[in-house]
Each structure stands twice: as C-alpha cells, then as structure tokens.
Structure 1
C-alpha cells in the first residue's frame, strides 16, 4: 500500500479538546507549519469536468521545502471516496516546476493556504489544519501495514472511535473543493 492513501477528514469544532486527548495517549506534536498548495488543471484532461472531482495535481511550498503531488481518488465516480493513489516527490526548485507546468499549459485552479500541525500515534497520523477562508479540520491518515484498503479503513475507524472526542461533520471532499465551492 505504498502509494495508496487511506484517510478520513472532519470539521473540527474544538481543536484544544482533541490536542488534550492526543497528549493523553502519548502523541507528540510536530511544530506547526504553513503549507501553500497550488492546484493545477491539466490541458489534456479537465479535472473539474466530471460531476465528481477525482484527480488533483498540486505543488506545495512549506517551511521546509517543496513537493509535487498527484492524487486519483477511488472509486472515481463516487461522491464518498475510500482511498487515493498518491504519487508525491520532493522538489528542489519549485519555481522551475511552476514554469515547467506553465510551459506545458497546466493552469492554476486554486491555492489552499493552511497551517498544519501533525501528531503521530502508532499507525495513524493526525493532522490539525487551519485553512484560510475555510476553517478548522482534522485529518486521520492510516500509516501502518494493512492487508488492503478495507483493513486500513476498519483500523482507522476503530482509532477514531477510540478517541471518544466530539468531532464535527465528516468531510468527503478536499480543501480545493471547498474553496472552489464544489460539493464533490
């Protein structure tokens, strides 16, 4: 499952309660980092054309470097996705990547500006995000070894339930969807 991401996202009404619970469980927070994610549309395939967006190309700049990432969410046409193919790599010269994308006619779609703080517990990474113009969220991502997507999802659900913390509504779309005003 090296290139497969299994995660769940929720709105977060009380970040302090979740932080306290994570600390009780022995999780250590990383330093918060600002991430600016520029999303692009491909010239050969319009990512926004389907009723349900299932693909994103992103260039991220943050305090400690830059990366490029492509995600294809599955099932492709479903509103609620179960997992994503994810291909990500560090970038040494982010401006060269931007110029490369422009030269190939990739067009900017939306920029997501967020502050992220990650916490890690055994097989789960918990990230608290404050997204400019969108609000506060928490993402739970399965990071352990699993037999398949179903196994990883079951274990992630068990972890979330074990926290016994009131989370907001589950969010079945990415931050670009929210900022673009897309339902799915």
Structure 2
C-alpha cells in the first residue's frame, strides 16, 4: 500500500524555480521600483562558489550539463549544495531539485571532497545583493560576477502546488515590475565560466 500523500509532496519543496537576466543598464532604476513595491533589501555579500565534478559520474560528459555540486563560502557562513536541473536533456531548463545545507567548516568539506576524488571544475566569485518582496514570495538578487558582468535573478520562495504555478507567479511579477532587463540567460554561472 502506498503511503498517504503529504502536503510537502504536492508543493515545490526542495525545488528551485528561478529566472536570470543579464542587466545591460544600471541596477538603480530596478531597485527604485522594488523600493516603491516595499521590497526589502539585504546587505551585499561576497559569495565564492566552487563547483566540483563527481568521480563516479562525470557531470560534464553530456552536451547539456544538468547537475552541479557546489561549496559556497559567504562572509562568515558556508554551505554545500547539489542541483539537478530538469528536463535533464533539454537545453532550456524549467526548474531544479536543490538540496542545500549549511556547513560549519568549509575547509573540512573541501578536504573531504578532495579525499573522495571530487575535482574542482569552476569557481564563481560574485557580490550579491538580495531583495525580498513584502510578501516573501520572491527573492530578487543583483549579482556582480567577476569576469561575467551584472545579472539579476528572480527566485520563487513561496508555496505553490506545481513548478508551473511558481513560474507563472515569477512571470507575472517580472511583467508588473516593468523594468528594462537585458537578455534572458538560461545557463548558470558555472556554465558561463566554463564557456558552456
């Protein structure tokens, strides 16, 4: 007999739904609009993300990369993160499974991964300023990425019954924002660093 369905199984728990754009103009007009919408700004922080390849499964072997393992060091905190993007074989991803946990000793995690033959494949060094809408549904991140430029990311943080519902919420927010955004970017920062 199958176990009963819980509310967590019908929401986007452990699922990330986001959209990224390259900012071609200044960020201040977008921030001014967010302020008028009563979104709350966070404190800018430097994030150094180191990406690893697994010894048992080459994340880079396929033409379309769908999996990333990352260690992030940010100010006084650190985290370990794994993402698997869907649809797996599609160039245009809609969402990802995301599993992340804080770690107290990033150096120990780095040494652990090296001892298990995980290889560093990319480093993304960026300064992020994250804003949150007044209802907490959407996070808006302004990223200054070393050697890549300026980007803006919109991530759904609320509760939704499906990826489609979360995506629709993002689409509506971005349209209502009325901001002059650059081209939509369908690749993650490690993709761009690697030229993929």
TM-score (norm 2): 0.92
Question: Which residue of 1 is the match for residue 171 of structure 2?
Answer: 157
Question: Which residue of 2 is the match for residue 6 of structure 1?
Answer: 17
Shift of 1:18: 0.8
Aligned residues: 182
Deviation sequence 1:58-106 (CA, Å, 0-9, x none): 0000113100000000000111100000000000111110010000000
Question: Which residue of 1 is the match for residue 9 of structure 2?
Answer: none
Counterpart check, 1:87 vs 2:73:
no
Question: Which residue of 2 is the match for residue 146 of structure 1?
Answer: 160
Structure 2 alignment gaps of length 5 or more: 1-11
Question: Which residue of 2 is the match for residue 169 of structure 1?
Answer: 183
TM-score (norm 1): 0.97
How far apart, in 2, do the equivalents of 1:44 and 1:158 lie?
Answer: 41
Secondary structure of 2:19's counterpart equals: strand
Shift of 1:177: 0.6
Secondary structure of 1:115's counterpart equals: strand
- Map 1:1-184; keep pairs closer than 5 Å: 1-13=12-24, 14-121=26-133, 122=135, 123-182=137-196
Secondary structure of 1:19's counterpart equals: helix
Specify the structure having the higher radius of gyration (Cα).
2
How far apart, in 1, do the equivalents of 2:95 and 2:40 lie?
Answer: 26
How far apart, in 1, do the equivalents of 2:171 and 2:124 lie?
Answer: 27
Q: Root-mean-square deviation (CA), in Å?
A: 0.6
How far apart, in 1, do the equivalents of 2:30 and 2:75 lie?
Answer: 24
How far apart, in 1, do the equivalents of 2:29 and 2:75 lie?
Answer: 27
Secondary structure of 1:45's counterpart equals: coil
Structure 1 alignment gaps of length 5 or more: none
Q: Any runs of at least 4 consecutive aligned residues in structure 1 with deviations exceeding 3 A, and if so which?
A: none
How far apart, in 2, do the equivalents of 1:17 and 1:48 lie?
Answer: 38
How far apart, in 2, do the equivalents of 1:58 and 1:162 lie?
Answer: 33
